[in-house]
Structure 1
Amino acid sequence: MKEGEARAEIVAGALELERLGLNHGSAGNLSLRLGEAALVTPSGVSARDLRPEMIARMPLSDTTGAYEGPLPPSSEWRFHLDVYRARPDVRAVAHMHSTYATTLATLRREIPAVHYMIAAFGGPSVPCVGYASYGTAELSRLVVEGLQDRDGVLLANHGAIVVGDTMGKALWRAVELEALAQVYYLGAVAGEPVILPDDEILRTVERFKSYGPRDR
């Protein structure tokens, strides 16, 4: 993918997350891997005001926050870069403050296998990692640990992160994670949801390796 195309895809992704109600204002952030660099949304810019040229370019080899562009990257740039360094298969990262995922994060609950779509995240749960202040190295460490064998994670008292090998796949997971969080929350309010067994989910994980959105 050329850099101009990647920048346009990030802008489109940010607008889509806002349209779907998964982010609002300048909350959340997005990035795409581009060779040995990452393109990261800037700090404090709403999706509606975001333009391709505003997106910061950050070398993956740097750990100091160095960037190219007219605006500084999101304060959460650390976990974007650290995820790319830890997960060579990941090409897109999306962080959102969606309502039900964030609600569960304030309760510090993982999302269990209340529905087989949990397999879209690589296992029988979406874990909730501990709390650390936004933008810190400690939060980044917790995120990388949580995403070690999953493609989505809740951040205690904060929000959620999803990853994908394309922006389309990351956005798909953002939608599915919020839907799962809503189903689990409403099920827990109504009674006690029945959790699917791990072996069933692991079989579904294998079937899901060819499932999900595809590039046109």
Structure 2
Amino acid sequence: MARAECLGNDDVLRQQLVAVARRLNGSGLNQGTSGNLSVRIDGGLLVTPSSLPYEQMTTGDLVALDLSGQPLQSGQRRPSSEWRLHADVLASRPEAQAVLHCHPVHATALACHDRPIPAFHYMVAVAGGDDIRCAPYATFGTAALSAHVVRALVERQACLMARHGLVTLGSDLEAALRIAVEVETLAKMYLQALQLGEPPLLDAEQMEAVHAQFKGLHYGQQDQ
């Protein structure tokens, strides 16, 4: 089947995905060839390929799959080992258009201790709730890992992954990247605050006021 028949005109999405992938390492959110990104397309998703440095990746290297992992085009590269994670998150969240997975140092340090990020700072609300959960550990690339992450993302746009990293989703690739930057910043602040002991937390009423303020100011609504 010709690419145009199975995918339609996805050139812009391919260009955006490559551009955001290349920004991951430069932003400090990722290292080497770890991490992966995807964007929703008709019939499935585009996902980054396995073991290809982002600076070498071109739009033709991206892999088109349906949500069960079947290729939408012949002769493609091998998809990221985490393709299932991306497919399952997109399947469970029809409003999401992009998924980003990375291994930022501070967020991953917390995840290595199974620690969520609690409401120590009002900006935790940027991920959609009163905390940023940490999904339980499972081997990378497995259905078990995907299931843990899908549950941790209920009513959230980000979660940590125990002994692994970070996942964010958004209305587009830029939105997913913005949330990843915010979460990594919060993780760094939380780790530093912990040097003085457990920080006091905002309570449910205070966080409710933050969410209302965000809504009133339309803060982050482009990410929902």
TM-score band w.r.t. shorter chain: over 0.9
Is this contact kept in 1: 2:69–2:83, CA < 8 A?
no
Shift of 1:65: 4.4
Shift of 1:64: 4.5
Aligned to 1:83, which of 81, 89, 92?
89
Letter in 2 for 1:212: G
Letter in 2 for 1:107: H
2:26 counterpart of 1:19: yes
Q: What are structure 1's unaligned runs of at least 5 residues? A: none
TM score, norm. by length of structure 2 = 0.90
Aligned to 2:39, which of 32, 49, 52?
32
**Equivalent residue, structure 1, for 2:4:** none
SS of corresponding position for 2:100: strand
- Which sits farther off after the overlay, 206-215 or 80-89? 206-215
5 Å-filtered alignment, 1:16-165, equals 16-60=23-67, 63-68=68-73, 70-165=76-171
* Structure 2: distance between partners of 1:214 and 1:171: 13
Is this contact kept in 1: 2:171–2:222, CA < 8 A?
no
Indicate the percent of aligned positions where both proteins have the same amino acid.
40
Is this contact kept in 1: 2:69–2:87, CA < 8 A?
no
* Structure 1: distance between partners of 2:194 and 2:72: 44
Is this contact kept in 2: 1:113–1:195, CA < 8 A?
yes
Shift of 1:213: 8.5
Shift of 1:191: 2.6
TM score, norm. by length of structure 1 = 0.93
SS of corresponding position for 1:145: helix
Letter in 2 for 1:83: V
* Structure 1: distance between partners of 2:20 and 2:212: 27
4+ residue segments displaced more than 4 Å: none
Is this contact kept in 1: 2:127–2:156, CA < 8 A?
yes
Task: List per-residue Cα deviations over 1:120-163 (Å, max 9, x = no partner).
Answer: 11111000011000000000000111111111001000001011
Shift of 1:204: 2.1
State which structure, 1 or 2, has the greater radius of gyration over its C-alpha atoms. Answer: 2
Question: What is the RMSD of the two structures over their aligned residues, measured on CA atoms?
Answer: 1.8
SS of corresponding position for 2:112: helix
- The 3 A distance-change label for structure 1 pair 142 and 65 is farther
Q: What are structure 2's unaligned runs of at least 5 residues? A: 1-7
